[in-house]
Amino acid sequence: MKSKILLASKELKIYKVWKILFPFSFLLFPFCAGAQILSGEGQLHGSIEIDAQYYKPDSLIGAPAVPEKMLMNTYDELDYTNGKISAGVRYEAYDDALQGYSTLYNGSGFPYKYISYKQDNMEVTVGNFYEQFGSGMILRAYWQPQLGIDNSFNGVRVKYNPTKGVYLKGLVGDQRYYWTEGAGLVRGIDAEVNLNELDSSLANMKTKIILGGSFVSNYQASTSTTYNFPEDVGASAGRISITNGGFSLYSEGAYIINDPNAINNDIFKTGDGVLVRAGYSQKGLSFLLSGERIDNMSFKSDRAATANDLNINYLPSLPRDETYQLAQIYPYATQPNGEQGLDGEIKYKLPKESLFGGKYGTDLDVEYTVINSLDTINLNDQATNDKGYTTRLFNAGQTNYFQNLTLEIQHKFSPDFRMIAQYDHEYYDMTVIQQEPGSPNITSNIGVLDGYYSLSSAHTLHMELQGLQTAQAQGNWAFALAEYNFGPDWFIGALDEYNYGNPDPAQRIHYYTVTGGYMKNALHITIGYGKQRAGILCIGGVCREVPASDGFTLSITNSF
């Protein structure tokens, strides 16, 4: 009996070592096998990214004591290409994961490894891959390490162009869930037809038309005795893109069959979404109008998954990506259970040598976004169909989730001096967006002045002044930043984010940071020391919480 257990543990060890060694076989493969398919000289490239932080507890700002004191995330990739073959691996280590990342990431390994073969009009990838159908409303796998998101597929993908203008994709795979894989098996196909490429008589036509359609299904077994979960959840989407000179129109519609899950509180309602974007642009001027409606569109490869885990699809949100620090304090997060919104943007360049254009012209940008709830009628049908609610299609919902008006002006005064001024007026329903019941609805005004001055070809100065005024939540904030670039490879900087209007005088804190860095070719090294306020970081409507912290940071990135 004892020897059996010993054997078992030995086998386990061999299995574990094999599991670690397995990715290397991907790298060795192109070196050893298939000499005929390797043509010419192979290329080996890669990248390294290391983010480390040393943490000090700070009870005033709410920075917890971190027992390990120092934490690190690293992502290191190698890609080899030779002729028709390419292969690669990514090593990731979280020793342990930085604060704000799920502790499920703790550990290290090779979560991303692939071999791809490309010939004429066909490409086959086995292993891990990222993919997107249309605008992603029913399928998008992507990697966003800043948000801790990696929903890559592990399986097989085939891309095929049967004829000019027709692009087909098919895939089968499981999705990454930290160091394991999600419970569901995802299958998807996508077809795109470019009419102008397909029919040679349309090749020179000014109007360009592209049609696309996709179907995705997720299979997850159910053992529930309470619910009759659909084990195969299908989703379909169609899209059209029309452009004619400066005019453009893009529209996509998506539909998901009933998929009771942890996000929609296990209701048996179908999901649908629509996105429409119309624009006109000419030299120095552009208009863009977008509308979207999302109803019960959370689609994950595990019906029990929450937060950002195991998303099969991606819901494009309308608000602009704010880049200035104080404009990021109250960022919008897409509401997969339901939202509808409109976004309009006008950009205009005041011509060079005009009254306000100056020598280089002045860029004006006005954008307005409004997002509301859906207009829903509660069905109270838990005991029967359990569809939860129904909606009135063309009515705006009663609750305003988010509104933002942005005005931005960019002007270059001389070859050595340029400035950006921005004003935002924002309304933010914190209860819905940050899912914190009882939070106030926040109305804020944000002003930004951002200036760049070249002292000489190798010495430049960058300064920002920002203010946020609100009577709610943490009250007013001020922000100042100065960065000096010299060499031209070196830089130093300092910033202070000051919550001077906090209703609690003890919380009127300076969150200051000093940084220094070196940049040469693709190498980027930054060290910093300072305090980070608690908040949420959002990229493209997808967010993660960032806890308060105090301490040193080190970041290194390089490619070769």
Partner 1 sequence: MKKQIVLFLFLLFIFPTVIFAQSLLNSKVPSIQVKTVDGSTYNTSSFSNHGKPIILDFWATWCKPCIAELDAINDEYSDWQKETGVKVIAVSVDDARTMGKVQSFVKEKEWDYDIYIDPNQDFQHAMEVINVPCTFIIDGTGKITYIHNSYMEGDAKVLHAALLKAAGKK
454 binds partner 1 (CB under 8 A): yes
Residues numbered 496-515 forming contacts with partner 1, rule: CB under 8 A: none
Nearer to partner 1, 93 or 156 (CB): 93
Give dist(CA 510, CA 284) in Å, integer: 41
Name the helix (H) or strand (E) containing 348: strand 338-350
Among residues 250, 332, 428, 479, the one that binds partner 1 under rule CB under 8 A = 250
Radius of gyration of the chain (CA): 26
Nearer to partner 1, 188 or 388 (CB): 188
Among residues 268, 299, 491, 511, the one that binds partner 1 under rule CB under 8 A = 491
Coil vs helix vs strand at 21: helix
Nearer to partner 1, 363 or 386 (CB): 363
460 binds partner 1 (CB under 8 A): yes
175 binds partner 1 (CB under 8 A): no
246 binds partner 1 (CB under 8 A): yes
Nearer to partner 1, 213 or 284 (CB): 284
Residues numbered 214-233 forming contacts with partner 1, rule: CB under 8 A: none
Give dist(CA 412, CA 410) in Å, integer: 7
45 binds partner 1 (CB under 8 A): yes
Give dist(CA 530, CA 338) in Å, integer: 39
Nearer to partner 1, 272 or 343 (CB): 343
Closest separation between CB of residue 292 and partner 1, Å? 10
345 binds partner 1 (CB under 8 A): yes
Task: Report strand pairing: 166-177 vs 185-194.
Answer: antiparallel
Among residues 9, 103, 306, 323, the one that binds partner 1 under rule CB under 8 A = 323
375 binds partner 1 (CB under 8 A): no
Give dist(CA 267, CA 257) in Å, integer: 11
Residue 437 preceded by cis peptide, ω within 30: no
Among residues 56, 387, 462, 508, the one that binds partner 1 under rule CB under 8 A = 462
Closest separation between CB of residue 205 and partner 1, Å? 11
Nearer to partner 1, 319 or 467 (CB): 319
Among residues 524, 527, 546, 552, the one that binds partner 1 under rule CB under 8 A = 524
Give dist(CA 526, CA 515) in Å, integer: 7
Closest separation between CB of residue 162 and partner 1, Å? 14
519 binds partner 1 (CB under 8 A): yes
Among residues 220, 372, 485, 553, the one that binds partner 1 under rule CB under 8 A = 485
Closest separation between CB of residue 328 and partner 1, Å? 12
Closest separation between CB of residue 455 and partner 1, Å? 9
- Contact indicator for 439, 405 with CB cutoff of 8 Å: no
Nearer to partner 1, 167 or 423 (CB): 167
Q: How far is CA 429 from CA 205, 341, 425, 505, in A?
A: 47, 14, 14, 25
196 binds partner 1 (CB under 8 A): yes
DSSP 125-155: EEEEE-EE-TTSSS-EE-EEGGGTEE--EEE
Counting other chains too, the contacts that 150-154 makes at CB distance below 8 Å and 24 or more residues apart are 150/111, 150/112, 150/176, 151/175, 151/176, 151/310, 151/311, 151/312, 152/111, 152/112, 152/128, 152/176, 153/128, 153/129, 153/186, 154/127, 154/128, 154/181
Among residues 11, 231, 232, 321, the one that binds partner 1 under rule CB under 8 A = 321
Give dist(CA 107, CA 124) in Å, integer: 31
308 binds partner 1 (CB under 8 A): no
Dihedral sign from CA coordinates of 133, 136, 138, 143: positive
How many Cβ atoms sit within 10 Å of the Cβ of residue 530? 19
List of residues 6+ apart from 190 with CB closer than 8 A? 133, 134, 139, 168, 169, 170, 212, 213, 214
Closest separation between CB of residue 308 and partner 1, Å? 15
List of residues 6+ apart from 23 with CB closer than 8 A? 89, 91, 110, 113
Among residues 248, 258, 308, 328, the one that binds partner 1 under rule CB under 8 A = 248
57 binds partner 1 (CB under 8 A): no
Give dist(CA 449, CA 272) in Å, integer: 41
Nearer to partner 1, 83 or 547 (CB): 83
How many Cβ atoms sit within 10 Å of the Cβ of residue 22? 12
Among residues 7, 8, 14, 21, the one that binds partner 1 under rule CB under 8 A = 21
93 binds partner 1 (CB under 8 A): yes
Closest separation between CB of residue 110 and partner 1, Å? 9
Nearer to partner 1, 83 or 440 (CB): 83
- Contact indicator for 74, 90 with CB cutoff of 8 Å: no
Site string (283-302) toward partner 1, x via CB under 8 A: xxxxxx-x------------
- Contact indicator for 130, 119 with CB cutoff of 8 Å: no
Among residues 15, 24, 227, 500, the one that binds partner 1 under rule CB under 8 A = 24
Nearer to partner 1, 262 or 556 (CB): 556
544 binds partner 1 (CB under 8 A): no
386 binds partner 1 (CB under 8 A): no
348 binds partner 1 (CB under 8 A): yes
Give dist(CA 136, CA 252) in Å, integer: 10
As a whole number of Å, the end-to-end CA separation of the chain is 53
Nearer to partner 1, 113 or 269 (CB): 113
Among residues 270, 281, 400, 513, the one that binds partner 1 under rule CB under 8 A = 281
* Partners of residue 365 on adjacent β-strands: 347, 408
Q: For 248, list phi and psi in degrees, rounded to 5.
A: -145, 145
Q: Which of 397, 393, 482 is nearest to 432 (CA)?
A: 397
Site string (108-147) toward partner 1, x via CB under 8 A: xx--------x-----------xxx-xxx---x-x-----
Closest separation between CB of residue 88 and partner 1, Å? 9
Q: Residues in contact with partner 1, total (CB under 8 A)?
A: 93
Residues numbered 416-445 forming contacts with partner 1, rule: CB under 8 A: 418, 420
Coil vs helix vs strand at 353: coil
